Amino acid sequence: MNWDDIITLLEQGEGQMVEFEKTVPSQDDIVREITAFSNADGGKIIYGLDDKNKHLVGAQIRDDLIGWLTGLAKNSIVPAANIEVEIIEKGQKKIVVISVPDGEDKPYRVDEICYIRDGNISRPAREEEEKEITNPWSGKGLNRRQIRAMQIMAEHGGITNRDFREAFGVSHKTAHIELILLVDKRLAVSEGAGRSTRYILTKQPEE
């Protein structure tokens, strides 16, 4: 990210996918926010900016900050969360940007609590909310497209190569490889031949 990107986020304000902090907060606050973003659609956590007054405050940065933050995401959150950390300098001040992707192994928990993003607040999920974000295909080594393809199969009874291409904007070859991997993992089976080949679930996910 560059400074123009930061200004754009600052103008948009804090919300579902952006969190601002004036300083680097406590370890508990950090892992709670990362967990919440991982359980949502991902987003940015930015330290060193006062979003209320639009001021660059600057964050005090320890020498091992990047390694410390990525270590927290991997070791304090279950399953381990993946993040990217950038340090951006403006004048004599620095800000920290944590990019959190939409998690592929939801639900993520810290201290056995599942946090979610609710507007500009990160809070514990209610039982029904946690069920909604639980992915029955977590831990299967699938990428995001394959997970969504599994959901499409569950919702519509099957998916074709063409359906996959149209849903994700990938080539015929990529769609074929990723669908065949689902078959190899015994998560799906193919029926038909040629262009009429359709992929269906081997069994419905457990409730």
pLDDT tens digits for range 181-200: 999 999 999 999 888 899 99
In a domain, 138, yes or no: no
Point out the least confidently predicted range of 21-25, 119-123, 133-137, 191-195: 133-137
Residues 182 and 114 in one domain: no
Q: Which of 133, 162, 185 is the last residue of a domain?
A: 133
Q: For residue 33, which of 102, 100, 80, 133 has the smallest C-alpha distance?
A: 100
Cα gap 191→186, rounded to integer Å = 14
What pLDDT was estimated at residue 204? 52
Residue 122 has pLDDT above 50, yes or no: yes
In a domain, 206, yes or no: no
Residues 195 and 126 in one domain: no
Predicted TM-score (pTM) of this structure: 0.71
Give the gyration radius of the chain's Cα atoms: 20
Residues 50 and 125 in one domain: yes
Mean predicted confidence (pLDDT) in 130-154: 83
Mean predicted confidence (pLDDT) in 103-129: 93
Higher-pLDDT residue of 204, 188: 188
In a domain, 207, yes or no: no
Tokens matching residue 47: 């330290």
In which domain, by residue range, is 110 found? 3-133
The overall average pLDDT reported for the chain is: 91
- Domain with residue 70: its CATH number is 3.30.950.30
Residues 12 and 111 in one domain: yes
Mean predicted confidence (pLDDT) in 59-88: 95
Cα gap 82→34, rounded to integer Å = 9
Q: Which of 114, 133, 152 is the last residue of a domain?
A: 133
Categorize the per-residue pLDDT at 53 as very low, low, confident or very high, splitting at 50, 70 and 90.
confident
Residue 36 has pLDDT above 50, yes or no: yes
Mean predicted confidence (pLDDT) in 67-82: 96
Residues 9 and 110 in one domain: yes
Residues 119 and 192 in one domain: no
Q: Domains in the chain: how many in total?
A: 2
Cα–Cα distances (Å) from 96 to 25, 69, 120, 136, 147, in that order, read 12, 11, 19, 34, 31
Residue 139 has pLDDT above 80, yes or no: no
Residues 113 and 15 in one domain: yes
- Domain with residue 182: its CATH number is 1.10.10.10
Cα gap 187→153, rounded to integer Å = 11
In a domain, 166, yes or no: yes
Residues 124 and 156 in one domain: no
Q: Which of 133, 158, 192 is the last residue of a domain?
A: 133
Residues 165 and 83 in one domain: no
In a domain, 165, yes or no: yes
In a domain, 86, yes or no: yes
Cα gap 133→40, rounded to integer Å = 8
Residue 54 has pLDDT above 90, yes or no: no
Q: For residue 160, which of 191, 127, 198, 123 has the smallest C-alpha distance?
A: 198
